[in-house]
Amino acid sequence: MHQIITLATDSRETLVDITGQVRAVVERSAVSDGVVSLYAQGATAAIMIQENWDESVQTDVVNLLRKLIPRGVWLHDAQDGNGDAHLKAGLVGPSETIPLLNGQLGLSTWQNIFFCEFDGPRDDRRVVCSVIADIQP
């Protein structure tokens, strides 16, 4: 089963918690055991599993990436000013795979799924969510 999760972002760089939307897709799928594959469409976005306890970790991720990959110093900036966003998205990566165990995401207590925006704000961001069932012999 595949479903597109759509969302809007409100700042240039942010992590948006999409765990609830992914859980809803899993519930609709009625798959008990398997995997959930998530893929961020767009060359300046990514998917990350990270701590959910408070927003400081998400803020730290954004701040770290800003320090590692500053804005305005890359060759691609001559085209559209977002060279850093492409590099950040490539470093984090566009996808994650999560085990599905007894109909539940195999995340730990402190893990959530985040859409990483590096070139926002955007009105129409998309994540492909694929629920794949284990084949039982």
Can you give the CATH number for the domain in which 55 is found?
2.60.120.460
Sequence-separated (6 or more) residues with CB below 8 Å from residue 124 = 6, 8
What one-letter code names the amino acid at 81? Answer: G
pLDDT score recorded for residue 89: 98
**What rounded mean pLDDT belongs to the chain?**
96
Calculate the dihedral angle through the C-alpha atoms of 62, 66, 68, 74, rounding to the nearest 10 degrees.
130
* pLDDT tier for residue 76 given thresholds of 50, 70 and 90: very high
For a pLDDT cut of 90, what percent of the chain falls above it? 95
- Rounded distance, CA 73 to CA 84, Å? 8
What are the tens digits of pLDDT across the range 6-54? 999 999 999 999 999 999 999 999 999 999 999 999 999 999 999 999 8
Predicted pLDDT of residue 79: 93
The arithmetic mean of pLDDT across residues 129-134, rounded, is 97
Question: What pLDDT does residue 80 have?
Answer: 94
Percent of the chain with pLDDT over 70: 99
* pTM for the full predicted model: 0.95
Indicate the pLDDT class of residue 92, thresholds 50, 70 and 90: very high
pLDDT of 137 reads: 67
Residue 136 in this model has a pLDDT that exceeds 80: no
What residues form DSSP beta bridges with 112? 50
Number of domains in the chain: 1
Domain that residue 106 falls in: 2-133
